[in-house]
Amino acid sequence: MVEQFLQQLLTEFNIATSKYSDNTISRLLHHAKINELTKSITAAKKQAINIFQMYSVSEAFKDTPIILPNATAKQAYSFQFDLSAFPHTRIREIRLLDKVGLAFDPVTAQITGVPMVAITVDLQVVFTCGQDEDQAEDIKIIPLIVNADPKDLWLNKPSNKSALYAKEDSDRYAGTFLDKRIVVASQRGRSHAHEGSFRDDHFYTKPLLLGWEIIAVADGAGSAKFSREGSRIATTFIADSFNDEGVLKELSDRCTEYFTPTEEHSTEEQALKHKSAIINILYKSVRSLHTALSNFATQEQVQLKDLNTTLIFALVKKFEYGYVVLTFGVGDCPINVITENPHEVKLLNQLDIGEFGGGTRFITMPEIFTNEIVSRFAIHRFSDFSKLVLMTDGIYDPKFITENKLEDKAAWDMFWADLAGENEDQAKVDFLQPNGIDQQLLSWLDFWSKGNHDDRTLAIIY
């Protein structure tokens, strides 16, 4: 070691090797002072190179990208640092992490916690490199983004109560429906609440003469300026239009003859005649509703399409031969019946589903009044039913996703379980207790579903 040390020293001092230098080296090999100096200089060099390496690791660590996945406010977050490539590097603390609401454990090298607010912060990661007493400390900056809880980003601005055709942001109703009960709730969607605009949905239910009752639900088009009024007129006008003794008497008689033919040899032809008569009565009301909407638009000097709204209704009466349910639908809102015996789910109306947007139909559109409108009406009889449900797409988009699930028993079982409280908010609708059920349903309507913030209206006859 001494020999090598001396030779390197000579090179460093530009002393050429000669006979004398070799002899001198030999002589000094056992020189005490030289031996001591060699040891201490080698040790000093080693120490210096260790320090160099330590700082070099520190630089490398600072330069190595470490990406913290973005966090979201109010959601648990955890991140495990992987320091396997840096065996002598330790993270001592992370400054500013407390500002985010997270904590760092130096032993496990883990960040955990639940961030409370949205923030973007450059974390100061204090780390050390090296072993024992020789340690270099430095700071590495790692950005961390905490997204807002999406729920907090939605504003809830009240709608302008003094605006034209102002409407309450929510509505609810509970009562009897024939020998059953009805509960309905309608809630302004978050997208409307965010902008302080109105609820466009509407519902109306009413007992009519001669034992008939009606429930109507309408979804005003988001793109139409005054659709909130269109949906109000559509539901109230249609219900009132049937409340005529002459009309309902004929409707009752025709239904009875259609379902329980009295003549001994009733023919298919006769059945068809009664069926057309029933549909004709329904058609007249729907037609007069369209006229009423046109007149309203003219009178208010707005365009008819400003009132664009869908409409579904069920006109129901209990006869000795069962419940007659007459339905109509334009647009994409479903009417479903659930029977116990047999256990079945049926969609009672055809839906206008617009693939790529263009196909939605509204009661305000003159083009729906063609011969094909017949298929929008339906005549049903049930000896009994357990639920009759009308809803807007604000409900079925998040809860049923696609239209074909509307006749899927499993999807409906999940829906009832959801209403019974099996949901994130534990919002429960108790069908056994009529008091306060409308408020329960309205609260349930507040459910959170990413990307689904439309107005929600749900009517259940049970």
Partner 1 sequence: MRRLPVYLLLDTSGSMTGEPIEAVKNGVQMMIHSLRQNPQAIETAFVSIITFDTDATQVIPLTDLASFQMVDLKANGVTAMGAALGLLADKLQTEVARTTPEQKGDWKPLVFIMTDGIPTDDWQIGYNKLKAVNKGLIVGCAAGHGADDSVLKQITGSVVRLDNADSESISKFFQWVTASISTTSTKVEESGKEVIGMEQLPPPPSELVIIA
- What angle in degrees, to the nearest 10, is found between the helix axes of 409-419 and 393-400? 110
Q: Which of residues 221-260 bind partner 1 (CB under 8 A)?
A: 221-223
**Element counts in the chain: helices (H) and strands (E):** 12, 18
Q: Please enumerate in sequence order all residues whose Cβ is within 8 A of that of 225, keeping only pairs 6 or more positions apart, or say none.
A: 302, 306
Token pair 């009423």: residue: 292
Stretch in the footprint of partner 1 (CB under 8 A) among 37-45, 99-107, 275-283, 349-357 = 349-357
Our finding on whether 63 is near partner 1 (CB under 8 A) is: no
Q: Of 177-185, 219-227, 267-275, 421-429, which part binds partner 1 (CB under 8 A)?
A: 219-227
User: Which one of 32, 33, 301, 356 is in contact with partner 1 (CB under 8 A)?
Assistant: 356
Instruction: Tell me which residues in 399-438 interact with partner 1 (CB under 8 A).
Output: 401-402, 404
Residues 293/282, Cβ–Cβ less than 8 Å:
no
CA distance 361 to 356: 13
Q: How far is the CB of 374 from partner 1 (least distance, A)?
A: 26
Which residue of 246, 342, 357, 366 would you call a contact of partner 1, by CB under 8 A?
A: 357
Radius of gyration, CA atoms only, the chain: 39
Mark the segment that binds partner 1 (CB under 8 A) among 34-42, 160-168, 282-290, 449-457. 449-457
Whole-number Cα distances in Å, 343 to 337, 412, 413: 11, 12, 11
Pick from 360, 392, 440, 457: which binds partner 1 (CB under 8 A)? 360
CB atoms within 10 A of CB 143: 11
What is the per-residue DSSP string for 46-115? HHHHHHHHHHHHHHHHHHS---PPPEETTS-EEEE---TT-TTEEEEEEETHHHHTEEEETTTTEEEE--
The answer to whether 145 contacts partner 1 (rule: CB under 8 A) is yes
190 is a site residue for partner 1 (CB under 8 A): yes
Rounded CA-CA distance 396/105 in Å is: 46
Site residue total, partner 1 (CB under 8 A):
32
Pick the piece of the chain touching partner 1 (CB under 8 A) from 146-154, 171-179, 202-210, 436-444. Answer: 146-154
Among 24, 128, 170, 191, binds partner 1 (CB under 8 A): 191
State which of positions 308-347 bind partner 1 (CB under 8 A).
none
Residue 70 touches partner 1, criterion: CB under 8 A:
yes
Stretch that binds partner 1, among 23-31, 96-104, 356-364, 416-424 (CB under 8 A): 356-364
Among 153, 164, 166, 374, indicate the residue that binds partner 1 (CB under 8 A). Answer: 153
Minimum CB distance to partner 1 smaller for 376 or for 453: 453
- C-alpha–C-alpha distance, residues 60 and 75, integer Å: 33
Strand bridging mode 71-72 / 136-147: parallel
> Are 36 and 43 within 8 A, CB to CB?
no
Per CB under 8 A, residues contacting partner 1 are: 67, 69-70, 72, 118, 120, 145, 147-148, 150, 153-154, 190-192, 194, 221-223, 354-357, 360, 401-402, 404, 450-454
